[in-house]
Structure 1
């Protein structure tokens, strides 16, 4: 489906073309990072729509649905921003049911959601398959931390100041701006701007 042309869509078309040119064929995973959850989710949704428009099947996922249950998280101590940063997500499940099967290609199924953090309940898995050439666009806080960084073919950071103590810890320890493929200023959401620096 042809998207309505707006400055935001035109920017995303340019970004999608760059991602496709850099990664060629096969299964590709794009990570969208940023402290503003709503902006991050909307950007990832829009990027997936633009990739679909370009003829590359794009699937969406979010780290939000790979959080630990409250009971599981409590094993790591009191509910603090540091606990959320260090132990709030089940990266083992993320790799096992989504990242690794998506990479395998073929008819291997993958799951994009395992846990509903609002209701604190597990989600009945829905297994999805994809064609040989496909994109997975995944968003989430702390997504460019060291233990995940090798999973992404292309890393995007939506630039903003730390909005929580957990995000401050992440930025201080991981310095995501230094490791991403693209830093994007979304201070005007309808008009994204690429931010270039010596580290990009």
Structure 2
């Protein structure tokens, strides 16, 4: 594997430059994929202002707002890694309310939050119409290799030891799901951009995989 060490600040600037090069008259659906320890949400948040400063309207979507109801997520227990891998996230809802409307021929009318996990009820978020050229930053785990359609995919990769070390104890039960994701999906083998974040403070762009 060949990597290029890069600061977190430069990573954000380079990704912003990459994204604005895409066709400005269409919507751009961007996946920022990674385990919670890799902090894809923080990277997505950091991209918002640089993209807007470059003239592109930007909308944030977090898959934590597209969970399935607790009765479905927790059917086999609160710490079942197979359920987390296969059934926690409402991919159909994300496709229906965000990715489809922002895709070719879509209405451009999206829902940024579908489910409130704290109340276990609909988030009751109003629909919003995307501005021309809008970039949608969708962050969360386990985003790639399924039925979700993105225009640009960014995968934040961690080695198994680093992931285990940096995952908080209360969600360590999810670790088998991420190992399964790496083994079965291998997102780093096809994502448009792969960033190694064994230490998120010192990322490295993956240039070539052995």
Aligned to 1:179: 190
Matched, 1:78 2:89: no
Quick one: distance in 1 between partners of 2:112 and 2:70?
A: 20
**After superposition, where does 1:1-150 map in structure 2 within 5 Å?**
7-21=7-21, 23-25=22-24, 26-37=26-37, 39-73=39-73, 77-79=75-77, 80-103=80-103, 108-148=108-148
Quick one: distance in 1 between partners of 2:156 and 2:143?
A: 12
- 1:167, distance to aligned residue in structure 2 (A): 1.2
- 1:110, distance to aligned residue in structure 2 (A): 0.8
- 1:138, distance to aligned residue in structure 2 (A): 0.5
Aligned to 2:153: 155
- 1:107, distance to aligned residue in structure 2 (A): 6.5
Residues 98, 65 of structure 1: CA spacing in aligned structure 2 closer, same or farther, 3 A cutoff?
A: same
Q: Which has the higher relative contact order, 1 or 2, with Cα contacts under 8 A spaced 6 or more apart?
A: 2
Aligned to 1:167: 178
- 1:41, distance to aligned residue in structure 2 (A): 0.7
TM-score, length of structure 2 as denominator length:
0.80
Residues 130, 180 of structure 1: CA spacing in aligned structure 2 closer, same or farther, 3 A cutoff?
A: same
SS at match of 2:194: strand
Quick one: distance in 1 between partners of 2:18 and 2:104?
A: 24
After the TM superposition, which of the residue ranges 133-142 and 105-114 deviates more from structure 2?
Answer: 105-114
Long gaps (5+) in structure 1: 1-6
Task: Tell me if the contact between 2:38 and 2:158 (Cα under 8 Å) persists in the aligned partners.
Answer: no
Task: Tell me if the contact between 2:116 and 2:122 (Cα under 8 Å) persists in the aligned partners.
Answer: yes
Task: Tell me if the contact between 1:106 and 1:131 (Cα under 8 Å) persists in the aligned partners.
Answer: no
